[in-house]
């Protein structure tokens, strides 16, 4: 059996990526990297009002770069890394597959697939109740949800096969 040292968690908004990533990293004794937690800790308190996409994306990209630098070192030591970075676009997933391959680290793709109405219901509950499941310091509006839906790219069958994908949903 192949030992996967990089676990790519993907799904659209409200799919349960962070909850799944926590469970997976606990089960395998891995290290979890969550883009929402990094952004919340490092940058959200400085967010301009109104929020500017360019401001956010610059910081997201900085976090992705540093997350990979640390994950590569962790994986090189034989410790699994669970990447909860959204991975909503094929291009971003491909970049991380390439980085892992260049580092000699085996990758497994985990796709959390749930219908949009169920995911929107989860988001509304999280907005309303907050609690441990709430990482972002703001509510996800319907406009935000719909925007992410409009740019979401589900993994293809070929991508799932190439990266020993697991589809959860």
pTM for this entry:
0.92
**Residue 75 pLDDT exceeds 60:** yes
3-state DSSP percent of the chain in helix, strand and coil, to 5: 55, 15, 30
Q: How far apart are CA 73 and CA 66, in angstroms?
A: 11
In a domain, residue 34? The reply is: yes
CB 67 within 8 A of CB 83: yes
Burial 141-157 (b: 16+ CB within 10 A, else e): eeeebeebeeebeebee
Q: How far apart are CA 10 and CA 110, in angstroms?
A: 6
Residue 134 burial (CB < 10 Å; 0-12/13-18/19+)? middle
Give the residue-averaged pLDDT of 62-89.
Answer: 97
In a domain, residue 84? The reply is: yes
Specify the pLDDT at position 133. 55
**Residue 110 pLDDT exceeds 80:** yes
Instruction: Give the model confidence (pLDDT) of 120-150 as tens digits.
Output: 999 998 888 875 555 666 788 899 899 999 9
Q: Which domain holds residue 59?
A: 17-112+154-164
**Structural domain count, the chain:** 1
Give the residue-averaged pLDDT of 71-91.
Answer: 96
CB 119 within 8 A of CB 154: no
Residue 119 burial (CB < 10 Å; 0-12/13-18/19+)? buried
């Amino acid at each position: 059996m192949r030992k996967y040292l990089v676990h790519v968690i993907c799904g659209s908004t409200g799919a349960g990526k962070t909850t799944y990533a926590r469970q997976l990293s606990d089960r395998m004794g891995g290290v979890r990297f969550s883009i929402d937690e990094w952004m919340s800790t490092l940058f959200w308190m400085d967010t301009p009002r109104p929020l500017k996409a360019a401001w956010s994306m610059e910081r997201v990209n900085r976090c992705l770069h540093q997350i990979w630098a640390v994950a590569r070192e962790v994986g090189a030591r034989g410790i699994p890394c669970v990447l909860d970075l959204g991975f909503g676009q094929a291009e971003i997933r491909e970049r991380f597959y390439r980085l892992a391959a260049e580092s000699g680290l085996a990758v497994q793709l985990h796709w959390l697939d749930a219908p949009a109405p169920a995911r929107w219901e989860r988001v509304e509950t999280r907005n309303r109740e907050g609690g441990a499941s709430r990482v972002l310091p703001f509510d996800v509006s319907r406009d935000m949800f719909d925007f992410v839906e409009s740019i979401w790219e589900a993994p293809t069958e070929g991508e799932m096969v190439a990266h020993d994908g697991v589809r959860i949903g």
